[in-house]
């Protein structure tokens, strides 16, 4: 499979999980990585700044109309839903919260699934609610691939457990093995 993007959703405990995964990726990572993480809606998000310390890839916050590029990590800004438009560019909006969240993992996964189809590799990590469950259903409906963190290795198991319960998860891996599986799937090992 020739994947065109990796999409990662996380919540509570997600920053640590992302740092563990991203330390395994080299600067020649062949496709963009898009991260949706539940964040404090008050003030500036520092997620991109924090992730820059643990990755050799360029990490930046998503901006309206940007088309994601290889060897970059893009983070959804706080208090905005991140959508993938039909031309592959990012779109931000302030529609009502979904699963009590903005950004919502479901919103991004659903629009990315429609755009990327079977070329999407989606990952659900640690988190405290079921956001992402509808998103993984959409990813599977459009032919994409889904990895979930093994709940026993999650700081908060609710999010990966909810994703797994959909029956739409292709692979379940402990946190320390997820980076290797991603690299395997995109043919980098």
Residues with a known catalytic role = 11, 38, 131
Give the whole-angstrom CA distance, residue 110 versus residue 119: 14
3-state helix, strand, coil in the chain (%, to 5): 30, 20, 45
Q: What is the rounded CA–CA span in Å between residue 105 and residue 180?
A: 23
Q: How far apart are CA 143 and CA 183, in angstroms?
A: 19
Q: Is the link from the previous residue into 103 a cis peptide, with omega within 30 of 0?
A: yes
């Amino acid at each position: 499979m020739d994947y065109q993007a990796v999409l990662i959703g996380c919540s509570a405990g997600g920053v640590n999980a992302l740092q563990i995964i991203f330390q395994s990726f080299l600067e020649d990572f062949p496709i963009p990585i898009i991260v949706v993480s539940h964040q404090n809606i008050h003030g500036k998000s520092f997620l991109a700044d924090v992730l820059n310390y643990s990755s050799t890839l360029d990490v930046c916050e998503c901006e309206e109309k940007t088309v994601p590029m290889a060897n970059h990590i893009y983070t959804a800004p706080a208090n905005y839903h991140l959508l993938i438009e039909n031309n592959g560019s990012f779109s931000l909006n302030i529609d009502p919260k979904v699963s009590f969240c903005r950004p919502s993992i479901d919103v991004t996964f659903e629009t990315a699934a429609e755009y990327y189809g079977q070329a999407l590799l989606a990952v659900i990590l640690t988190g405290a609610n079921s956001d992402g469950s509808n998103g993984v259903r959409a990813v599977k409906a459009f032919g994409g691939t889904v990895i979930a963190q093994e709940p026993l290795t999650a700081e908060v198991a609710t999010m990966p457990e909810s994703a797994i319960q959909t029956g739409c998860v292709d692979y379940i891996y402990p946190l320390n093995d997820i980076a290797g599986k991603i690299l395997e799937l995109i043919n980098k090992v």
